[in-house]
A = this chain, B = another copy of it.
Amino acid sequence: MEENKVGVWLIGALGSVSATVITGALAIGKGLISSKGMITSTDAFSNLGLVDVARLRFGGCDVRKGSILEAVRQGARESRAFDPELVGLIEEDVQRIQPYIQKGTNRNCGEIINTISDPACKEDAYLIETIETIRNSIRFFKQGNGVNRVVVVNLASTEPLLKFHYCHGDLDDFETALKENDVDAIRASTLYAYAALKEGCAFINFTPSNGALIPAIIQLADKQGLPIMGNDGKTGETLIKSALAPMFSCRDLKVMSWEGFNILGNRDGQVLNHPENRETKIRSKDQTLTKVLGYSPHSKVGINYVPSLGDQKTAWDFIHFKGFLGATMSLQFIWQGYDSILAAPLVLDLVRLAELAMRRGEKGVMPHLASFFKSPIGVSEYRLYEQFQMLLSYADHVRKDREKMRIVN
């Protein structure tokens, strides 16, 4: 059974994270590069029966028009992060994905996302029609690639913060709102999550968009017996925060201020330059310190769009702390990473772990994936190493289950 192929359906399929996911997975599948950067390929995750990267098949949707091959080429050309000759070696495989990249929805996604969208994506349809369109795209992808199990991953641009509406709290109310076409209460991310689960797919929200995993969607996942997880892939500044902040507690040092300043130049940066979209992102980053330290230092996160940087995200963090005898000291760090390069292996890890959970019949929120997210839903542990321990425990547990099976058989 494990020899089957697994589908990966990417929302925002023409974005730079998707392009990097596809480039990397194809290159690993062909043995052109190592799987460095994917934690699920390390020894700690061996013998779990995770799907081989070579057996992943890709599709998805985007609100922009464009060619996936061009996105892959542009990713290589602009970032100069990896050997550009790689692209030539996977071109044919990339082109085979093109038919499965379909039109997405930008329903209620705010001004800036509208601006960068293909006009054809402007949503006038009823919500239930849009859902049907998405479901059709997923079905077409499944059939075309002969895959049964699909993991849908949201990699679209950050939406504006969605305010709580009573219909978010309950699946029945939510479905009523869908039928009544209550467009203000629902965003694209919600529609995608709903459609994915209805279509029997696992769902991962790698973005900060808080519309995706509202309580009604979590209820639906439980009902459908499907695993879900989010929000917001932890790739840079917040990753370091979650590794470093506990250090201050271990030394009883009081963090007075933790100021962060991020500059980046890709489309993510362009969208986050818009205040309403930035707000969603910053909220997502905000909780880590409070959760880790047990109190809230002064903390403000700035994000600036600096086109010349492209995918190369740079973050400066200034941490002002107080110690013995009331002395004040500081720690600063400067993080210079390729945004998509850091995100892509996490996406592949999450796909493999979500697919495993599907096969194991696990449903609802996957707390053991907390270490991958800035705002892990249903998890109060924000310290990186404790989160990672949760993942290792899960792996042990799966391994023991497999051992038992083997013995039984």
Asked if A261 lies at the interface with its beta carbon under 8 angstroms from chain B, I say yes
Q: Could you tell me how many residues of chain A have their Cβ less than 8 Å away from some Cβ of chain B?
A: 75
* B-chain residues with CB within 8 Å of residue A331 when the two chains form the complex: 240, 333-336
* B-chain residues with CB within 8 Å of residue A250 when the two chains form the complex: 39, 243, 371, 384-385, 388
Asked if A244 lies at the interface with its beta carbon under 8 angstroms from chain B, I say yes
Asked if A328 lies at the interface with its beta carbon under 8 angstroms from chain B, I say yes
> Which among A144-152, A278-286, A298-306 touches the partner chain?
A298-306
**Nearest chain-B residue to A310 (Cβ)?**
B328
1/0 contact string of A317-337 vs chain B (CB within 8 Å)? 010101111111111111111
* Interchain CB contact under 8 A, B342 and A324: yes
Most buried by B among A34, A309, A328: A328
Also in contact, A325 and B81, with CB within 8 A (given A244-B244, A331-B333): yes
Which residues 253-277 of A sit at the B interface, judged by CB distance below 8 A? 253-254, 256-257, 259, 261, 263
Asked if A314 lies at the interface with its beta carbon under 8 angstroms from chain B, I say yes
Which residues 336-387 of A sit at the B interface, judged by CB distance below 8 A? 336-338, 341-342, 344-346, 371, 383-386
Most buried by B among A306, A324, A388: A324
* Interchain CB contact under 8 A, A344 and B324: yes
* B-chain residues with CB within 8 Å of residue A38 when the two chains form the complex: 252, 324
* Interchain CB contact under 8 A, B298 and A36: no
* B-chain residues with CB within 8 Å of residue A33 when the two chains form the complex: 325-326
Also in contact, A252 and B338, with CB within 8 A (given A82-B326, A247-B239, A308-B328): no
* Interchain CB contact under 8 A, A37 and B306: no
1/0 contact string of A34-52 vs chain B (CB within 8 Å)? 1011110110000000000
Asked if A215 lies at the interface with its beta carbon under 8 angstroms from chain B, I say no
Most buried by B among A83, A323, A332, A346: A323
In the assembled complex, the Cα of A338 lies from the Cα of B329 at a distance in Å of 7
* B-chain residues with CB within 8 Å of residue A244 when the two chains form the complex: 240, 243-244
* Interchain CB contact under 8 A, B344 and A336: no
In the assembled complex, the Cα of A367 lies from the Cα of B394 at a distance in Å of 29
In the assembled complex, the Cα of A337 lies from the Cα of B332 at a distance in Å of 11
Shortest Cβ distance from A369 into chain B, in angstroms?
Answer: 13
Contact of A326 (CB < 8 Å), options: B36, B240, B333: B36
Shortest Cβ distance from A242 into chain B, in angstroms?
Answer: 8
Given contacts A24-B325, A83-B326, 20 further A-B contacts (CB under 8 A): A36-B323, A36-B324, A36-B326, A39-B252, A240-B244, A250-B371, A250-B384, A250-B385, A250-B388, A251-B342, A257-B263, A257-B309, A298-B308, A300-B304, A316-B332, A323-B338, A324-B342, A329-B342, A330-B335, A385-B385
Contacts A/B (CB < 8 Å), 27 sampled: A37-B251, A37-B323, A39-B251, A79-B327, A82-B325, A239-B247, A239-B251, A240-B247, A243-B246, A244-B244, A250-B388, A251-B345, A257-B263, A261-B261, A261-B302, A263-B318, A316-B316, A323-B338, A323-B341, A324-B344, A329-B342, A330-B334, A330-B335, A330-B336, A331-B334, A383-B385, A385-B385
| Top-8 shortest CB links A-B | A37-B324, A256-B308, A81-B327, A82-B325, A243-B247, A329-B337, A333-B333, A37-B323
